Chains A and B, each alone.
Chain A
Amino acid sequence: MELSIRNVQKEFGGFNALHEVSLDIRSGELIALLGPSGSGKTTLLRLIAGLDFPSSGQIFFGEEDASRKSVSERNVGFVFQHYALFRHMTVADNVAFGLKIRPAATRPTRAEIKRRALELLDLVQLSGLAHRYPSQLSGGQRQRVALARALAIEPRVLLLDEPFGALDAQVRRELRRWLREIHDATGHTTVFVTHDQEEALELADRVVVMSQGRIEQVGTADQVYDNPVSPFVYGFIGDSSTLPVRVEQGDVWFEDRSIGLRAPHVPDGEATLYFRPHDVELLDGCGGCIAGTAGVSRRVAGTKRVELAIGGAGHRVEIELPVDHPAATRSRIAFRPRRWKLFPARELAAAPATPLPEPVAA
């Protein structure tokens, strides 16, 4: 099922949760809506589901305008962040609920319902637990029941709201791989919301990066990581360091020295240089480079992160060095970013200066 979201806007009592959002989702695609809290990602998901209605704009399911249709008419499978399992029903009854409540004309027979419920429990690898109650399951198991329950109604689209948000890191990684397998096996068009960029980049075919009710960028993991189109995306996805610079006739200047980077297509003026801390080239001498005094250094897994104070203002940037690199012990380090991007200073006004990914609830 293809989804098409066209100029959708959503207001909550005067507050604009979504501004003119448009997005096309291909059939069978696995899409992540990624953004910090308050970016409108869950709002967008609920609009697709029909749990909320847009203030303006349209949502198409294939060729059909679903904007004014109810949840059940849209026939979507929705998995809630806190599972929302029916606590007084067994796992099997939870899964069978969507079939049992159908009107007699479209309801499968009792035996058929039972067979389908068990089949789905098999799919989510919970076959032995059909007669347990939700309270007797672990968080990861509950999430699987919630998914099986959503799949039981044979939805046209599968929507997941922070599906792994409430689970601990290890279970989350496991379920991620497993969700990918289920998606590949069933072929449902799937949209999930997450604030965890690792989850989005690893799992999704395409990632929709959102901020403040707008879509910042839509692309594959490689596209959004290697070629961020806005300062927000650069800052939000992966680690980044920034430096205020000036562009003059295609040369990039930091304070009074050229840092050896060429930007021939960038207009002259103030700009901000973005680069990844690990994607730098260390230099010995400094003819066209960024040089700074090493400050605090931290050991992060296989690398060492060094904070450098650059220039007269002591502007702080972080770079990453191999642990055994000789430069790690030096007091003065010179480097040049290998891959970088310049954003004109005025673009920054629209985005937060240092967007922090929100802490992950584990």
Chain B
Amino acid sequence: MADAALHPARPEAASAFRSPVTEPLGFRVFAIGVTVLLMALFLLLPLAAVFVEAFRFGLDKYLEVFKNPDAIGAIKLTLLVAAIAVPCNLIFGIAAAWSIAKYRFPGRAFLISLIDLPFSVSPVVAGLVYILLLGSNSAIGSWLLQDFGIRVIFAVPGVVLATIFVTFPFIARELIPLMEDQGNGDEEAAISLGASGWQAFWYVTLPNVKWALLYGVLLCNARAMGEFGAVAVLSGKLRGETVTMPLQVELFYNEYMTVAAFSLASVLAGLALVTLVVKSWLEWRYADQLATGARTH
């Protein structure tokens, strides 16, 4: 309406000075409005709801969940799993990015696609495949169980395995384009100055990618703590033993312990918010040293 009223008044101004790639004011207002509305509806509202539900009966009720042994067990397990999965993927990510960015070998392109597999495959499918491969009925699973007494499926190792699988691509994905972009030049320079391969890596390669690495670790950690699907399949949901925070939230909820469920969920949501803030800060401060345009400091 406002648009219709404005346009007849200043028709020349509107048509004469509009940038060729922009749309009329009405359309812009509409597009921005739809975006904001949908974001609020689908992202902000649920997030707010988590905290509202969690604090519905006051702070005391909210804090009660942190005395529940199941919840404490879930938090501990989640921290443990992240503490194992993130370093594993850190090492894998650096190794994969290094080999893909610095070497040319047959199957390289295939490997790049393969790294994305955990993104494209449903986590539930991944979980089921691991059960098939490592369950007590399988060759590997029974060998591990009988000869070493290690139970993988429906035990902590399974949860760790599932988490590693799901968070596989995060660090590698972040490093590969950056390292490809930076090329071998700096390493060659270091080696021509007498550095060993290890020194070149430690003093030159790693500092060159440190912010991208941190960025990747952050995303990897957030996903490791929040993963539900694959972990749900592999954990067997043994209370206090193989239940991580997201699983515990579901258990609480199914048992009508709504406040407990939302309180625990609020911790996860808080983690997500912190991740988001740090991520935005990294993007703002070190944008040039993340995945794009790394040539100019």
Contact = CB atoms under 8 A, between A and B. Distances in A.
Given A78-B189, A80-B188, A87 B297 contact: yes
Contacts of A97: 190, 193, 195, 203
Contact of B192 (A49, A86, A102, A134): A49
A16 interface: no
Interface string A78-107: 101010111110000000011001100000
A101 B200 CA distance: 9
Interface residues of B, number: 19
Contacts of A71: 191-192
B228 to A, nearest CB: 38
Given A80-B185, A84-B186, A102 B194 contact: yes
Interface string B159-199: 00000000000000000000000000110111111111001
Interface of B is mostly: helix
Given A97-B203, A153-B193, A134 B188 contact: no
B185 A82 contact: yes
Contact of A84 (B185, B195, B196, B210): B185
Contact of B297 (A49, A78, A134): A134
B296 interface: yes
A294 B196 CA distance: 65
Contact of A101 (B185, B186, B194): B194
A101 B196 CA distance: 9
B207 interface: yes
Interface string B199-227: 10001100110100000000000000000
Interface in A212-233: none
A78 B186 contact: no
Contacts of B189: 78, 80, 84-86, 149
Interface residues of A, number: 26
Contacts of A134: 297
Nearest to A98: B193
Contacts, number: 63
B178 to A, nearest CB: 12
B208 A88 contact: yes
Nearest to A133: B297
Interface string A296-319: 000000000000000000000000
A249 interface: no
A83 to B, nearest CB: 8
Interface string A245-272: 0000000000000000000000000000
A329 interface: no
Contacts of A191: none
Nearest to B187: A84
Given A72-B194, A153-B193, A135 B297 contact: yes
A97 B192 CA distance: 11
Nearest to B206: A88
A76 interface: yes
Contacts of B192: 49, 51, 71-72, 76-78, 150
Interface centre among B185, B190, B192, B204 (most CB of A within 10 A): B192
B44 to A, nearest CB: 38
Interface of B: 185-186, 188-196, 199, 203-204, 207-208, 210, 296-297
Interface of A: 49, 51, 71-72, 75-78, 80, 82, 84-88, 97-98, 101-102, 133-135, 149-150, 152-153
Which 7 A-B residue pairings sit nearest by Cβ, starting from the closest?
A135-B297, A98-B193, A84-B189, A84-B185, A78-B192, A88-B207, A72-B194
10 contacts: A72-B193, A75-B194, A78-B188, A78-B189, A82-B185, A86-B208, A87-B208, A88-B208, A134-B297, A153-B193
